[in-house]
Amino acid sequence: MTLICWLHPEAGLCLTGGMSTPPVAATPSRAGAAILAGGLACGVLDINGAFLTAWVNAGMSPVRVLQAVAGGLLGADAFQGGPGVAAFGLLLHFAVAFAWAAVFYLLSRRVPFLSQHAVASGLAYGALVYLAMNHAVLPLAAQFRSLYIPGTKPHVPRLAWGQFGVHLVCVGLAISLAVRWATLSPAAGKA
């Protein structure tokens, strides 16, 4: 029953820990607008933050950054690819951005605090995304990559302050403010 309420809040009362919680009103157009706005804001700001920090820290070009993103699935051979591999990296980047926006949107429907306090919750969500990416997603991607690319090295999580700051502002804050805007704005809910 609880899983149904997480995915379909309009389905009825949700039972969690013996207490019933009324469903949160959400329409498909508002959900789509929130996830679209959050994913686009996050995707554009985060990739530009990555471009900037990679250029400042290592002199890397945007194409090389996008090849590194594609390398999450393609391995080191991604750096030998051209614009097609970079485009694939950009596609992967936006897929991840939309996924994190969808997670925040779904959480914000169940935990109103997230939308009511968008700045604080956005900064916290950015920190959570940074930790999840570096301690779960990237290590799991390396394990998966090792199934089809022999000699794949495991991902070793490290704290990169520049990227941490980018995640706070360009990921978490961007998503939370975009979701708040899309769920509160009368214009955002019109299909």
Q: Tell me the per-residue pLDDT of 23-44, one tens digit each, with 9 for 90 and over.
A: 345 677 899 999 999 999 999 9
Crossing angle, helix 28-58 and helix 83-110, to 10 degrees?
A: 130
Specify if 141 maps to a domain.
Answer: yes
Give pLDDT tens digits for 176-189.
999 999 998 776 55
pLDDT, position 11: 37
Segment holding 20, helix H or strand E: strand 19-21
Quick check: 156 pLDDT over 90? Answer: no
Specify if 87 maps to a domain.
Answer: yes
* Rounded Cα–Cα distance for residues 64 and 86 (Å): 7
Specify if 191 maps to a domain.
Answer: no
Number of independent structural domains in the chain: 1
pLDDT, position 26: 62
Specify if 16 maps to a domain.
Answer: no
Specify if 56 maps to a domain.
Answer: yes
pLDDT, position 37: 97
Domain that holds residue 62: 27-184
Q: What mean pLDDT, rounded, does the chain reach?
A: 86
Specify if 84 maps to a domain.
Answer: yes
Specify if 127 maps to a domain.
Answer: yes
